[in-house]
Structure 1
Amino acid sequence: MTSPGWVFEQLHSRDDVTTLFHAEKAWHGQHNVTAIVKRHLHTWFDPTAL
């Protein structure tokens, strides 16, 4: 078991993953759910391109 803060710390320390979704007690009212996607850096959305 781990805290959401620890999970996000680990995820934000990487530059090759994006967090898609996080919800506490989302699975059967007891489990936190975090969805991430691993991507190549060249496929990331570039907000400066807008």
Structure 2
Amino acid sequence: MADKGHGGERIREQIEAQGARVVIPRRRHSLKGNGDLDRGLYRYRHLVEN
């Protein structure tokens, strides 16, 4: 099964281990929530990707 675009704690750990900030929102039903998500940076990342 392929990784989805949102979520994936393993992906988050790999990103953080490389010294980068994670700007991938968690799924709505995630227990950890998205309180730590930098929404401004997420919007910018989304703009660049599209």
Instruction: Report if TM-score (shorter chain) is over 0.5.
Output: no
TM-score scaled to structure 1, two decimals? Answer: 0.31
Higher helix share: 2
Structure with more of its chain in strand, by fraction = 1
Bigger radius of gyration among the two: 1
- TM-score (norm: length of structure 2): 0.31
